Structure 1
């Protein structure tokens, strides 16, 4: 019986090569992430904090709430002096009593940087700001805000 010399038989080894090469491509992508630039640092009490969005995509649904991921970098101040910290996006900061009820918007991480799933609306508006609320171990509440850059606002078509 003669062997079939079909297109599949002649080129199936190329699929094996692709399967061997793809993991290296994905490894390269995961080891070289590209983040948007950090926003200007602000003095918040004893802390100097610069937020950085992890991407320029709109907020996404996470446990029945919309959130946007940020990294907060501390230039001054000791992160261990923070009892609790929250981040939300909107026209005004949410009260800390309301923020304590859920598990979104909480700062977490190390002294090198704090990650946060900032509570956000489904779509940003021009009046929204990034609000940071910090409570220290002495009970002092600190609040600061940053304007959202135009890259995060929805594009208005003419």
Structure 2
């Protein structure tokens, strides 16, 4: 026996299927057009010119037991093959290289086009914190520089 009146669900379920087919197109478009926050000012350290850029404006997240914030470091000048190790952390002072070497967080990795880093960060970034870059070359020379944390990253 056929129903004479269909329910709301029966009338509109195919529209839901159409929406499910359209959503991947929206997410694909979003993935092809990411919006990054502005980069921090470029600084010279030794023979390198470095520009750090945060990936997003979100708070640091938990990663392998500590809090980290993702950055991209662009080396405009200098040969990154001459860098033995480099670390990025956010805090009131740079972490000692001996402490940084104990874990895998905060170490720069990538190519000559850009170095990605999970910068070691506190749970909440404060105005007195700075973004610290610690680099060591193959001769053992230690280079340290810092950037002020932009107001957009303060939470």
Report the TM-score when normalising by structure 2. 0.96
Count of residues in correspondence between the two structures: 154
Post-superposition CA distance 1:35-86 (Å, at most 9, x none):
0111110001111000001111111111110111100001101111111110
Asked if 1:111 is matched to 2:112, the reply is yes
Gaps of 5+ in 1: none
Match of 2:130 in 1: 129
In structure 1, the residue matched to 2:75 is 74
Distance 1:12 1:57 in 2: 36
Superposed CA RMSD? 1.0
Q: CA deviation at 1:148?
A: 0.6
Tell me, in whole angstroms, the C-alpha distance in 2 between the residues paired with 1:10 and 1:153: 49
Cα distance in 2 between the residues matched to 1:27 and 1:82? 37
Which runs of 4 or more aligned residues in structure 1 lie more than 6 Å from their structure 2 counterparts after TM superposition? none
> What is the alpha-carbon distance in structure 2 between the residues aligned to residue 152 and residue 13 of structure 1?
43
Match of 2:153, SS?
coil
| Counterpart mapping for 1:23-102 below 5 A | 23-102=24-103
TM-score where L is the length of structure 1: 0.94
Question: Residue 6 of structure 1 corresponds to which residue in structure 2?
Answer: 7
Instruction: Give the unaligned 5+ runs of structure 2.
Output: none
User: How many angstroms does 1:103 deviate by?
Assistant: 0.8
Report how far residue 106 of structure 1 moved. 0.5
Deviations 1:130-155 (A, max 9, x none): 0000111121111100001111223x
